[in-house]
Amino acid sequence: MRSYNKTLYALITILVIYTVSFVAFIMYSITNFAFSDFYKRLDLRRNLAAEQMWNGKENRTDWSLAYVEELNNQREFIVEFDEKANIINNSGFNVSLWEKVDKQGEANFKEGNTFYSTKFYQQQGKNYIVGVSAENYFYTHHLRYLQNLLLIALILGVLFVIVVSLLVKRSFIKPIHGLIDEVKKIGSENLYLRLSEEKYKGVLHKLANTFNRMLNRVETSFETQKNFISNASHELNTPLTSIIGIADLTLSKERTVEEYKKAMQKIVDAAGNLEKKTNALLLLARTGYEKDNKLNFKPVRIDQIIMDAEMTVKAINERFHIKTDFSMLPDDSMKLKVNGLAPLLQLAISNVVSNACKYSPNQTAYVALGAFENGVLILIRDEGIGIPEKELLYIYDPYFRASNTQNFSGYGIGLPLARNIIKMHDGELSVTSALGKGTTVRIELPTYSPI
């Protein structure tokens, strides 16, 4: 803010200096033109006066300039002087100005409001100074008026610049203060708050938008780091339980070699699933929501991700059923590619599909995949217990579970984790639900663009 004030005051100073300089330049130019023009008019009348004198007028003090109009208080004069510049004969000249006269040529000078034009002449061995004096009416009246007008304009201009600058400062700083007040309200306990972008315009709108995006990254990273242990326990518990159960069952009695091989294969599959989830969770915890570095994202086929997620869900619980609708797939397979990490996207989708199966009486989830102009659309629907309308606002909070889920196991981690992963991939996850009728999860991801 101090830097802005310095810049503003510097601009005001520059504008004031420019205004003063501009007014001074105008005044100087007009004054110089007025003097030069008036001296030319005096020179003309001086030459005419000298011509009449040398043409033999008997009364040299009564010359008449019939060819041009007389100037204000115009007077003609002639001074005869010797070689030492001593005045011998003076006709109408103020001797106190003798020092300003050029005794060998022409001279123009000013005394008060009276302007003089003189010229040296030599006739019959005698030295003369012939001149004309007059008041410059433009200088004494119009130029004075112009000076006053420019002075008033200068004062008003400076005041206008200052007032406008202060108003601009106020109008610019006021939304900044509003922005600061909004930022002050955001802390670790309410990272879900965002700045009101529609209140700001121009650069401030971009600043608010950038800050909101940063808050998205901070919120996701904060939640991910904070809940990593819970996420890990939730995601890793099922494959670990599966491995332990298979091992206990296999060791409970003697079995054939073939049975041991099948058991070991199930353990290997469960361990592989455990490894994938562990790597995904560790990657998520290490990086958080760092959108800028893109986590070394690569183009992946979203249809393949969905099929892998289905296999993962079925491996977790053989009673889960998934019905997939690929009828809306585009002809161009490139429209199914998104920029991201396959393990994370598979983790997010498998969480949502698993929830859809778990909360449905028939343990069935309906998955549909389609594409629109710049993205892909995934719809995951169930016909389960639904979510109470008043509780929909809290479904993305870690550990939150709806009031009608007491008879279902879970920790309230899967959906927030899935939403964070989708946000990490520049996508959106939204949920609509009707109590007792089911829930629909809508996932939109931008299509991969090779730029």
Q: Which amino acid is at 49?
A: A
| Residue range 2-142 in CATH 3.30.450 | yes
Residues 325/283, Cβ–Cβ less than 8 Å = no
Tell me the two tokens of residue 407: 């008879």
Question: Which of the four pLDDT bands, split at 50, 70 and 90, describes residue 446?
Answer: very high
Residue 299 has pLDDT above 50, yes or no: yes
Domain residue ranges of the chain, discontinuous segments joined by +: 2-142, 294-451
What pLDDT score was predicted for residue 444? 93
Q: What is the pLDDT of residues 276-288, one digit of tens each?
A: 667 656 655 554 5
What pLDDT score was predicted for residue 142? 72
What pLDDT score was predicted for residue 281? 60
Question: Which of the four pLDDT bands, split at 50, 70 and 90, describes residue 335?
Answer: confident
Closest by CA to 414, choosing from 347, 351, 349, 344, is 351
Put the strands of the sheet holding 321-328 in their side by side order: 321-328, 364-372, 375-381, 438-446, 428-434
What pLDDT score was predicted for residue 275? 78
Closest by CA to 90, choosing from 70, 55, 118, 51, is 118
**Cα separation, 117 vs 98, whole angstroms:** 12
Between these two residues, 372 and 280, which has the higher pLDDT value?
372
What pLDDT score was predicted for residue 64? 47
- For the domain bounded by 294-451, which CATH number is listed? 3.30.565.10
The reported pTM is 0.45
What pLDDT score was predicted for residue 210? 86
Question: Which of the four pLDDT bands, split at 50, 70 and 90, describes residue 191?
Answer: confident
**Cα separation, 116 vs 100, whole angstroms:** 10
Burial class (CB in 10 A: 0-12, 13-18, 19+), 374: exposed
Long-range contacts of 35-41 (CB under 8 A, 24+ apart): 35/110, 35/115, 35/136, 35/139, 38/115, 38/136, 38/138, 38/139, 39/108, 39/115, 39/117, 41/71
What pLDDT score was predicted for residue 63? 44
What pLDDT score was predicted for residue 228? 59
Q: Is the dihedral of CA 367, 368, 372, 376 positive or negative?
A: positive
Between these two residues, 284 and 363, which has the higher pLDDT value?
363
Residues 71/45, Cβ–Cβ less than 8 Å = yes
What pLDDT score was predicted for residue 58? 44
